[in-house]
């Protein structure tokens, strides 16, 4: 009997779809079927006809009841999670760090949940990496939001009476989102500076035509992410950044530490020192913000600057973000399907490393530690065993 991939409708605020027509065809080639809730793809501008050969259901409950694997963009609603059954597989961006009660509930239901935020940062997993694909869209959107709010041109403009100088854009954080923001701001003609506490990002920033701001603070962490700074390092960083922030017409911040509050890098006094009409886009607003005074989902005034805290930026681009997300999901799920049947290989570091809940437990050790749960450890048989005293968790890597 063919494995069934189920796609229930997303939350009301979510426009992206985890399924597109090309992925339906690829799943069919593996012997899998797809069951979709009616209307689930409408907000991504994906028509039923474009999906091709799929089965349809009227409710999310019907989709979940008829599926072996459930694909989702974000966490399911409480009622949909309650409909999940033991042994069922859930795959998507599940915000594993955010809610201990929900994590325990999924585990106790016997659900095998894969949170794609936990995907190991290895070369083989790049085609599955939703953080990269969706982060790229977020960085792009940050610049468009800034340009729409800015009272100045981004590029240099020459007109009959003279020349207007280009805007100065400072991007904090040189991960996927930050680098995309730098590249987009350069395409719009701005003078761009980039900053990151990881010194190896200098070459990437400069390769995009931006100038690297060197504060003398370096904080290389696990998995290509930055570690948290010490108090002394924060003080040194703040002093060095203050001048660059004051000179910028646009400030875009993208720094985050997975599983923890976003680091507060920009103080209120720094923003107050910016020129009147300056614009700040804090991409980390949902995680607490990189900028003191940011309010998630709102624009606020700090001094003469306008500070925006946009949320769920990829949902502003549902067509391409759905395409990227669906292909990431397929690349992750395809190795689990052999001749149309489920065949999970728990020796695969991608599958094992992305597992959030399994066998009745929250099995990811870092997530368990962040949520204050018993940290699991593998036994010789591959099953998880808990140890409430375990302190071996690493810095979050996704």
| Tokens read off for 12 | 């009301």
Give the per-residue pLDDT at 57.
Answer: 98
Angle between helices 21-29 and 318-333 (to 10 degrees): 10
Tell me: pLDDT of 385 over 50: no
For the record, the structure tokens of 300 come out as: 């606020």
Least confident of 14-18, 56-60, 61-65, 220-224: 220-224
Q: Tell me, what's the pLDDT at 221?
A: 57
Residue 77's pLDDT band, with cuts at 50, 70 and 90, is very high
Q: Taking the C-alpha atoms of 139, 120, 218 and 279 in order, what is their torsion angle to the nearest 10 degrees?
A: 10
Query: What three-state secondary structure class fits 21?
Result: helix
Residue 364 has pLDDT above 50, yes or no: yes
What is residue 109's predicted lDDT score, i.e. its pLDDT? Answer: 95
More confident position, 392 or 155: 155
pLDDT at 33 (0 to 100):
97
Distance CA(361)–CA(365), nearest Å, equals 11
Determine the pLDDT at residue 331.
98
Q: Rg (Cα) of the chain, in Å, rounded?
A: 22
Going by pLDDT thresholds of 50, 70 and 90, the confidence category of residue 390 is very low
Specify the higher pLDDT residue, 123 or 222.
123
Q: Given 3-state DSSP classes, what are the helix, strand and coil percentages for the chain, each rounded to the nearest 5?
A: 40, 20, 40
What pLDDT, on a 0 to 100 scale, did the predictor assign at position 226? 59
State yes or no: pLDDT of 389 exceeds 60.
no
Q: Distance between CA 170 and CA 250 in Å, rounded?
A: 6
Residue ranges and CATH numbers for the domains of the chain are 4-118+317-387 (3.40.50.720), 137-316 (3.40.50.720)
Residue 10's pLDDT is 92
Model confidence over 224-265: pLDDT tens digits?
A: 555 677 778 778 878 889 999 999 999 999 998 877 889 899
The pLDDT assigned to 239 comes to: 84
Banded pLDDT at 396 (limits 50, 70, 90)? very low
Kindly report, residue by residue over 38-53, the tens digit of the pLDDT.
Answer: 999 999 999 999 999 9
Residue-wise pLDDT tens digits, 154-181: 999 999 999 999 999 999 999 999 999 9
- Which has more confidence, 337 or 394? 337
130-142: per-residue pLDDT in tens? Answer: 999 999 999 999 9
CA distance 159 to 329: 49
**198 contacts 219 by C-beta, under 8 angstroms:** yes
Instruction: Average the pLDDT over 195-224 and give the result.
Output: 84
Using DSSP's 3-state secondary structure scheme, residue 8 falls into: coil
Look at residue 382 and tell me whether its pLDDT is greater than 70.
Answer: no
User: Beta strand pairing status for 211-212 and 191-195?
Assistant: parallel
> What is the pLDDT at residue 380?
36
Amino acid 219: pLDDT: 65
Whole-angstrom distance, CA of residue 344 vs CA of residue 182? 40
Which of the four pLDDT bands, split at 50, 70 and 90, describes residue 217? Answer: confident
Q: What is the pLDDT of residue 222?
A: 56
């Amino acid at each position: 009997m063919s494995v069934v991939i189920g796609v229930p409708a997303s939350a009301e605020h979510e426009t992206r779809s985890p399924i597109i027509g090309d992925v339906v065809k690829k799943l069919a080639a593996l012997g899998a079927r797809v069951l979709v809730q009616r209307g689930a793809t409408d907000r991504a501008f994906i028509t039923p006809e474009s999906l091709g050969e799929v089965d349809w259901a009227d409710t999310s409950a019907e989709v979940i009841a008829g599926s072996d694997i459930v694909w989702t963009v974000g966490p399911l609603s409480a009622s949909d999670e309650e409909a999940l059954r033991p042994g069922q597989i859930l795959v998507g961006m599940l915000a594993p760090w955010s809610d201990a009660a929900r994590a325990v509930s999924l585990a106790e239901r016997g659900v095998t949940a894969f949170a794609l935020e936990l995907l190991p940062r290895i070369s083989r997993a790049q085609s599955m990496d939703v953080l990269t694909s969706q982060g790229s869209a977020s960085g792009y959107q940050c610049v468009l939001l800034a340009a729409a709010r800015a009272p100045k041109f981004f590029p240099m403009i020459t007109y009959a009476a003279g020349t207007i100088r280009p805007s100065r854009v400072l991007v904090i954080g040189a991960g996927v989102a930050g680098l995309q923001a730098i590249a987009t701001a350069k395409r719009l003609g701005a003078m761009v500076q980039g900053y990151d506490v990881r010194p190896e990002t200098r070459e990437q920033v400069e390769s995009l035509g931006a100038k690297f701001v060197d504060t003398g603070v370096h904080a290389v962490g696990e998995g290509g992410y930055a570690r948290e700074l010490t108090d002394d390092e924060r003080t040194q960083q703040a002093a060095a950044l203050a001048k660059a922030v004051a000179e910028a017409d646009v400030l875009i911040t993208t720094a985050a530490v997975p599983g923890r509050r976003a680091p507060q890098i920009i103080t209120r006094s720094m923003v107050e020192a910016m020129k009147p009409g300056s614009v700040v886009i804090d991409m980390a607003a949902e995680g607490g913000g990189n900028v003191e005074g940011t309010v998630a989902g709102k624009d606020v005034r700090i001094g003469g600057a306008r500070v925006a805290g946009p949320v769920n930026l990829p949902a502003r681009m549902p067509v391409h973000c759905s395409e990227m997300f669906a292909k990431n999901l397929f690349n992750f799920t395809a190795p689990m399907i052999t001749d149309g049947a489920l065949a999970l290989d728990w020796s695969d570091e991608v599958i094992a490393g992305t597992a959030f809940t399994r066998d009745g437990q929250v099995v990811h050790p870092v997530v368990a530690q962040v949520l204050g749960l018993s940290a699991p450890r593998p036994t010789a048989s591959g099953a998880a065993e808990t140890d409430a005293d375990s302190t071996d968790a690493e810095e979050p890597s996704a």
